[in-house]
Amino acid sequence: MIAYIKGSIIVSQVNYVIVETGGLGYKVNLAQSQTFRSGEEAEFFIHEHIREESDDLYGFASIEQLELFEKLISVNGVGPKAGLSIMSVGSADEIITAIATENIAFFKSVSGIGQKVATKIILELKSKITGNRDTAGLLNRSSDNEDILGALTALGYQPKEINRLVAKIPGEIIAIEEKVRWCLQNLAK
């Protein structure tokens, strides 16, 4: 099983690179937020996904990112491609914050992730990440987050930008109108 690769990038595309090491080239699938140039030296912590018809490698810059990816794909309904899409939407800290704050809208902004899978990600991973099994209020917060996302998207803001901000809304703000107002004030900064 391949767990780590270090070598020279010989091909760099939007969502993968080919790394040459020891005379062999390995295709490593990456989150879209990672970019490399041909000839550049790089190292990746690898998740190897073996199926009957393929053997795919998914690369990450740190062991923490790899572990988060493996937690994401442990959720029924989240395969490696969906996990990589989630990793492309935000940093590991943003993803962990979205899980901890039960931000369903964050996960629903990922192509191919719907309400059901987004809820499962939060329910199954929150206790693993935060050690807290308190899921009371999940439906109310997710509904509020969806309303905020819908309102601000209609005003022309990007879902990724909104999701980062929704995770930072102070806990003492309860009313949906106040949450939207807070987001608008902080988006302008």
Q: pLDDT, tens digit, for every residue of 33-46?
A: 678 899 999 999 99
Answer yes or no: is pLDDT of 116 > 80.
Answer: yes
CA pair distance 45, 70, nearest whole angstrom: 12
Residue 16: phi, psi to the nearest 5? Answer: -160, 160
Residues of the chain with CATH 2.40.50.140: 1-61
Q: Is the dihedral of CA 71, 101, 81, 68 positive or negative?
A: negative
Q: Is the dihedral of CA 35, 41, 43, 49 positive or negative?
A: positive
Superfamily classification of domain 1-61: Nucleic acid-binding proteins (2.40.50.140)
Residue 140: the pLDDT is 46
Q: What is the pTM of this model?
A: 0.69
Q: How much of the chain, in percent, has pLDDT values that exceed 70?
A: 90
| E strand residue ranges, the chain | 4-12, 16-21, 24-29, 41-50, 55-60
Amino acid type, 118: A
Confidence of residue 143 (pLDDT cuts 50, 70, 90): low
Superfamily classification of domain 67-189: 5' to 3' exonuclease, C-terminal subdomain (1.10.150.20)
Residues of the chain with CATH 1.10.150.20: 67-189
Looking at the chain, how many residues does it have?
189
Residue 188: the pLDDT is 64
Output the average pLDDT for the chain.
85
- pLDDT tens per residue, range 117-142: 999 999 899 888 765 434 444 444 55
Q: C-alpha angle with apex 38: 34 to 40, nearest 5 degrees?
A: 75
